[in-house]
Amino acid sequence: MARRKKIYEGKAKILYEGPEPGTLVQYFKDDATAFNAEKKDVIEGKGVLNNRLSEFFMTGLNNLGVPTHFIKRLNMREQLIRAVEIIPLEVVVRNIAAGSISKRLGIEEGTPLPRPIVEFYYKDDALGDPMVTEEHIIAFGWASQQDLDDIVALALRVNDFVSGIMMGVGIKLVDFKIEIGRIWEGDYMRLVVADEISPDSCRLWDAHTGQKLDKDVFRRDLGNLADAYTEVARRLGVLPQNG
Ligand code: C5P
């Protein structure tokens, strides 16, 4: 069988040419990396779980009118997405202090933040994704002021949606990262949520026990990562079946 053309390979996903112009196939690998790929492993089944979980969140967002790149899941590891022009920013939203904000500002992990905080990081592995301000983003032309206002609005809508869904199954959404893409429709440009929404890019804590159910299990050697992701999928009712 002819192999599809590979467009891009990242740390956890591969993008292939899609069946129609303007589409791509996003393949979820089992590879896990942390600390800018200094720590690596293969976690059997992770790609299947993230494909399902990202489908679940992106479908919910699409149904709410929050535009995403997601079209449909194709099989266990692949989904059909719209091709977008990725804005070179990682957009992080935090509800509770953890990870880099705790380290940088000396805030104890687990401290609720006074309001959701949106941060931007410049996507560049060689530089270790440095934090940047709106000043940098506008001065260097990565996005306009209008884009930034729209990106913050999108990020906060994703936060409200995913926080609410997770709280319904007894999980706190501590923080998460999304990426934003541009889609051109004639002269009109639309910003959409791209990449993935999965426990690889969120911090998820059990609301009662505080147990970590996200990639920190791998980063901090806290147990079996696939078991943690399976628990998230089980609670959401999206445990992968065959096909
Ligand atoms: O490390 P930090 O505390 O800044 O991470 C904030 C959130 O963004 C976490 O949920 C983390 O999983 C996510 N993140 C990510 N990819 C990165 C950096 C952070 O998904 N390159």
The ipTM, to two decimals, is: 0.99
Distance, CA 124 to ligand 1 centroid (Å)? 14
CA distance 58 to 198: 10
Beta strands in 76-218 (DSSP E): 78-82, 85-86, 89-96, 112-122, 131-132, 171-185, 188-194, 202-206
9 pLDDT exceeds 70? yes
Is the confidence at residue 103, as pLDDT, over 50? Answer: yes
Q: Evaluate if residue 136 carries a pLDDT over 90.
A: yes
| pLDDT over 80 (residue 214) | yes
Contact by Cβ (8 Å): 7, 22:
no
**Ligand 1, atom nearest to 214 Cα:** 12
Q: What are phi and psi of 100, to 5 degrees?
A: -65, -30
Ligand 1 environment, Cβ below 6 A: 90, 92, 99-101, 129, 175-177, 201-203, 215
> What is the band of 1 on the pLDDT scale with cuts at 50, 70, 90?
low
Q: In this predicted model, what pLDDT tens digit does every residue of 36-68 receive, in sequence order?
A: 999 999 999 999 999 999 999 999 999 999 999
Question: What's the pLDDT band for 32 if we cut at 50, 70, 90?
Answer: very high
Atom of ligand 1 nearest to the CA of 99: 3
Distances (CA, A) of 39 to 59, 60, 126, 175, 221: 31, 32, 16, 21, 11
> Distance, CA 188 to ligand 1 centroid (Å)?
31
- The candidate with the shortest Cα–Cα distance to 12, out of 191, 171, 197, is 197
Residue 187 in tokens = 């002269």
Delineate the domains of the chain, giving CATH numbers in brackets: 6-82 (3.30.200.20), 85-225 (3.30.470.20)
Contact 213, 232 (CB under 8 A): yes
Cβ 211 vs Cβ 205: under 8 Å: yes
- Asked if the model's pLDDT at residue 122 lies above 90, the reply is yes
**pTM passes above 0.95:** yes
Q: Is the pLDDT of residue 243 over 70?
A: no
